[in-house]
Structure 1
Amino acid sequence: MNIAELFLRCKKVLENTWTEFTFIFEFGEGHISNSGFLYTGDRVRPATASIEEDRLLLGNALEQLREGIYQQCGKKFNQLLFQMENETKRFKIDFEFDDQKRWVITPNNMLAMREKLRPKFD
């Protein structure tokens, strides 16, 4: 729940109208990067997740989650997918441990990935 609350504090989430959003965090040696999308019906806006008043807070929380999972199962995830729906505030968190390119967004795959990553709460 704490992580979901942190995503709701992100600048792009606060400043824009959205019905769903998706963010992918990628973890490398000594760095974290993220990208994602805000969805409003058929409109899709690229976005990144950061909390304006404390830019390290979300990344540090996700790094702590990653370390906690590592302590439990002996493996660190390479990517984290966070999806949320505005109306119900339902959210999903998924992890990728093996395929470092599973959710990578590039200029060549951006249109396909934005639909593939659109939250579906069935």
Structure 2
Amino acid sequence: MAADVAADLIRALIDTMGAPGVDGDGWESLAIILEFPGGEFNEAHGYLYRPDGVVAAMASDPSAVGPAVTAYTDSHYRLGEVLPRKILVQFDRTTGRYDIAFEEADEARWKVTPRNFRELREELRPKFN
């Protein structure tokens, strides 16, 4: 079941993503951060990585992906448990491989700023060996 809800989550994030000025079909991998300030999901943003080296900022519609996010977190957390601060979803479209990481405590982890955005987008780039 966990693989099904993960696949549904990734599919929902891809189906609702927007990346202004970027070809939505030319990417090969993505990294998306799901944010849960105050314990409620409200944001999905990250990067698309193209084979030609172009990296584009992107976001997915939180209200559209909300049901898939809830199904995924429900498969990992019991009713009443505190949800993570953030979840990182990494997906490689060419291989179908993915990874989903949880950040339970550090609100600043994976936080994009003007000073770190170049380094962070490389840190988040999926690297499956």
Distance (Å, rounded) in 2 between the aligned partners of 1:81 and 1:31:
13
Would you say 1:20 and 2:29 are equivalent positions? yes
Q: Secondary structure at the match of 1:69?
A: coil
Shift of residue 21 of structure 1? Answer: 0.6
Counterpart among 108, 113, 116 of residue 120 in structure 2: 113
Pairwise CA distance, 1:65: 2.8
Match of 1:77 among 84, 89, 101: 84
Q: What do the CA deviations read for 1:25-84 (whole angstroms, capped 9, x no partner)?
A: 11113551222011013211111123xxxx623123213433443317944211011111
- Given the alignment, which residue of 83, 94, 98 partners 2:101? 94
Q: TM-score, normalised by structure 1?
A: 0.82
Q: Is the 8 A contact 1:69 1:75 kept in 2?
A: no
Q: How many residues align?
A: 118
Equivalent position SS for 1:25? strand
Q: Is the 8 A contact 1:84 1:119 kept in 2?
A: yes
Kept in 2, the 8 Å contact 1:69–1:76? The answer is no
Q: Which runs of 5+ in 1 are unaligned?
A: none
1:60 to 63, 67, 71: 67
Please identify runs of 4+ aligned residues in structure 1 that moved more than 6 A.
none
> 2: CA distance between counterparts of 1:49 and 1:60?
13
TM-score, with structure 2 as normaliser: 0.78
Question: Take 1:70 and 1:35, find their aligned partners in 2: how far apart are those partners?
Answer: 22
Q: Any unmatched runs of 5+ in structure 2? A: 1-6
Q: What displacement does 1:98 show? A: 0.9
